[in-house]
Structure 1
């Protein structure tokens, strides 16, 4: 039974005692017993400022207590808005995510039926919440998967299976086709790995209009050793998460298809493993790219921007979308700038920035705009190629990465780059080690709905 802070009068008629020792503070709960021995959970959903985080309260309650629930639970939803109901369902779904997929002995999952009681019709909003929560769990499982299993080919098969289930088109380009089409930067990054790169192109067309409303491009580095510019061993095992942007792209296209939205969306995932081998690309190399621009390699650990460059160029030349958005766990610099509570947002489109920021607060997947001044362009000058992939400057690393990507957008006027390195993967109260957060599914889905369903 959801309770707002200091407003228990709204639910007192349902309670077995007159004055429970509970004030509705956010994400707190109290168990009472009814006359028939039934369990009644009072769940604090706090004040108005907590409305964007309601799924966190429902998730915690379900995660902590579901083993006592039996086979069914009823949620009193008469005092919840439709947005709050949707987020409640998302939270309940997220509570069922288990990170121990690869243990030899797995926890047994009990099927649970949850009913929302309300005088309003909630069927559509309940379905949307369920699909959203399920999608978040699926992309978390992808990000958390070990890199010996989650190869670029694995991501391609995941996308094909998803497309068959959710009814959209999926094309997986393998090395021979990548070479033929000119995805030279993707191929360069993947040269050192036995697990060869792929580019995944997912197409959902819910509108008969041929125009593509939104194209999403995701960085899909399934493991990032840093290449010859090798990373330190500390936390290297977490580099399985360097495909967080790809996971968001895969998840959003699947979710939009399940919701049957009246829009056309294309998702592009450029996936490779950045490994060390005799064939690895080197600092000092000059490589080609899909755009035709040449790139001087300064640091092989700045590989994400290389695969994204090919994806962005492909989108601009072939898809020609109204909105072009890329997502990537791209830089440590954005983490040092914003910590773990917001993604770095880069765009020259003021309206897109304002809308994305507003939605970020609404769904509690926040963004913060960082500068894209022309002054930074000189940091990427190369004497031997059209551009270099890394400035070597310890300052403004996230902006320098964004400026590199901008060079491959052909000045697209509705392009946005989101650096999600600090929010995609990290510490959680639901796991002892760092794990995926599911960040981005709600933000991008709501942004697409806001910008295209008018």
Structure 2
């Protein structure tokens, strides 16, 4: 999509569709509407009066443009109450706007800067919401649908209706595009079938990202290297599959070598059948999404290649399949991890924590990071607790937790903290090994984190369980049904 920012003096030159945000408290349309030709101003005011349009959040009113005008459609989008206004509201309103215009078969649009002032953060959010709401994944459809949705907006102007300055807004719009495009990369990786998005495929994507920036290096460890490293937990999960495991490591160097890196660890189970502890058949196709943590890390590094942040960041992705076979890991087996600690396998479907344990331990030993953030579609338990409305955060550091929660509020990828108390740790005690990989009934999201905690040492650490937020069964504002790319916007907000 072509994006540009224009000053208020360009209002009279708008083509295609015009999107106008209206607050609920506004008795009349915003004063800057008067800069349009009188006929358009009158059309808008009459339509608002006749339809009793109130500007409640998300409420739309689509009008036909005037004859002999370049403006074919005018869309009013409700912004809700001014006291409730936020970046996330801007993101959602922009997403709703694009959805409302799909039937108009228009390729060009201009969207006024929402709010009451020229706020770059709002401009960034609008761009994110508008781009993300148009996401589709149809590369495997042999016949593309010939309907109204097949014509979508390909050019968008952001109109600064509050003044002539555009430089700060241009920077914000560029940032919004980078973030949205990076989240879309993550969505694309999630959407690919497991037969395509294998560990080898993810490794190739990592190489592609690294090749785009001199600040990024990539290392790919194969099965033989994992054996030399004695990553018994990671290798144990991979035993049932013929697809070779890959340990993908991305290093972004944007600061002094003396500065400790931030470690991002993403679970990369490219298909999870449950292994010998086989999952039920219903909805098993969704287990291609079990690499969503890996997709988020790759999305972040895609953005880093353009953002040039003043940080050192390392991304670690343990990638493998979890399948049943005659050589697969079995309940009752004991694996020895990279750290030397042992884990008793009670259920082979609790495999994500096993690959993460080795990846986290490796990060701690080799990189001595200032902090570790892991992302994983780890438990069904968190879906029961939080549905798709929030990602669970479980951490050993209150300051890190607060900063991530704040970033979640700003980015629209909200977090909710769960406690990590000793009774949860007690649940994973084993009679035969240092720990067991599940903790029985109850508290599954936290007992999974309790296992990971044993491998972080004294490093500040946050575990993000994205099982409920990685994909949606129905569309929401700027997130169409399917993969969400969750974690990308959150982490980029935090890292920035």
Q: TM-score range by the shorter chain?
A: over 0.9
Offset of 1:310 from its aligned partner?
0.7
Match of residue 7 from structure 2 = none
Partner SS, residue 473 of structure 2: strand
Matches of 2:31 and 2:228, distance apart in 1: 66
State the secondary structure of the residue aligned to 2:341.
Answer: coil
| Distance in 2 separating the partners of 1:35 and 1:125 | 35
In the alignment, is residue 154 of structure 1 matched against residue 190 of structure 2?
no
Alpha-carbon distance in 1 for matches of 2:385, 2:480:
23
The aligned residue for residue 342 of structure 1 is 390
Q: CA deviation at 1:137?
A: 1.1
> What is the aligned partner in structure 2 of residue 24 from structure 1?
55
Q: 1:367 and 1:203, CA in 2 relative to 1: closer, same or farther beyond 3 A? A: same
Matching of residues 69-88 of structure 1 within 5 Å: 70-77=106-113, 79-88=117-126
Instruction: Indicate if the aligned counterparts of 1:214 and 1:448 stay in contact, CA closer than 8 A.
Output: no
RMSD (Å), alpha carbons:
2.1
Cα distance, 1:178–1:53 mapped onto 2, change above 3 Å = farther
- Tell whether the 8 Å contact from 1:144 to 1:436 is kept in structure 2 after alignment: yes
1:395 alignment counterpart = 442
CA distance in 1, matches of 2:224, 2:270: 20
Q: Is the CA contact (8 Å cut-off) linking 1:26 and 1:50 kept in structure 2? A: no
Mean alpha-carbon deviation: is it higher for 231-240 or for 182-191? Answer: 182-191
Of residues 235, 238, 243, the one that matches 2:291 is: 243
Specify the alignment match of 1:213 in structure 2: 261
**Partner Cα separation in structure 2 for residue 432 and residue 28 of structure 1:** 18
Deviations 1:178-222 (A, max 9, x none): 112222211110111111211110111111334233110011111
Task: State the secondary structure of the residue aligned to 1:417.
Answer: strand
Query: Which segments of 5 or more consecutive residues in structure 1 lack a partner in the other structure?
Result: 450-454
Match of residue 452 from structure 1: none
SS of corresponding position for 1:409: coil
Q: What does 1:130-149 correspond to in 2, within 5 Å?
A: 130-149=177-196
| Equivalent-residue separation in structure 1 for 2:74 and 2:442 (angstroms) | 54
**1:55 pairs with one of 91, 94, 103:** 91
Report runs of 4+ in structure 1 exceeding 4 Å deviation. Answer: 107-111, 430-434
Question: Which stretch of structure 1 is more off in the superposition, 70-79 or 348-357?
Answer: 70-79
Summarize deviations over 1:142-184 as a string: whole Å, max 9, x none: 1111111111111111111122124421211111111122222
Q: TM-score, normalised by structure 2?
A: 0.86
Give the aligned partner of residue 282 of structure 1: 330
Q: Distance in 2 between matches of 1:364 and 1:385?
A: 41
User: 2:254 touches 2:310 (CA, 8 Å); kept in 1?
Assistant: yes
CA distance in 2, matches of 1:34, 1:136: 38
Moved more, 159-168 or 271-280: 159-168
TM-score (norm 1): 0.93
Shift of the alpha carbon at 1:53? 3.2
Residues 20-79 of structure 1, C-alpha deviation per residue, up to 9 Å, x if partnerless? 132222222222324643122222222343522322221222134246364422222274
Indicate if the aligned counterparts of 1:323 and 1:415 stay in contact, CA closer than 8 A.
Answer: yes
Q: CA deviation at 1:223?
A: 0.7
Residue aligning to 1:68: 104
Q: How does 1:116-127 map to 2 (within 5 A)?
A: 116-118=158-160, 119-120=164-165, 121=167, 122-127=169-174
1:318 is aligned to: 366
Kept in 2, the 8 Å contact 1:166–1:254? The answer is: no
Partner SS state of residue 218, structure 2? strand
| Greater alpha carbon shift after TM alignment, 118-127 vs 280-289 | 118-127
What's the CA shift string for 1:371-425, capped at 9, x where partnerless?
A: 111222221111221111112x21111110000000011132x111011111111
**Out of 423, 440, 445, which is 2:492 matched to?**
445
Confirm or deny: 8 A CA contact 2:109 2:153 kept in the other structure: no
Residue 318 of structure 2 aligns to a residue whose secondary structure is strand
Unaligned runs of 5+ in 2: 1-19
Contact 2:381–2:444 under 8 Å retained in 1:
yes
Aligned counterpart, 2:17:
none
By how many angstroms is 1:433 displaced?
Answer: 9.7
- Residues 330 and 420 of structure 1 are in contact (CA less than 8 Å); yes or no, is this contact kept in structure 2? yes
Change (3 A) 1:110 1:365: closer
Task: Name which of structure 1's ranges 93-102 and 275-284 shifts more when overlaid on structure 2.
Answer: 93-102
**SS of the residue 1:203 aligns to:** strand
Aligned to 2:417: 369
Checking the alignment, whether the CA contact within 8 Å between 2:212 and 2:305 is kept in structure 1 is no
Q: What's the secondary structure of 1:243's corresponding residue? A: helix
Question: What is the rounded CA distance, in whole Å, between the counterparts of 1:321 and 1:356 in structure 2?
Answer: 17
Name which of structure 1's ranges 349-358 and 237-246 shifts more when overlaid on structure 2.
349-358
Query: What SS is found at the alignment partner of 2:188?
Result: helix
Distance in 2 (CA, whole Å) between partners of 1:111 and 1:45 is: 21
Of 427-436 and 259-268, more deviation after overlay is shown by 427-436
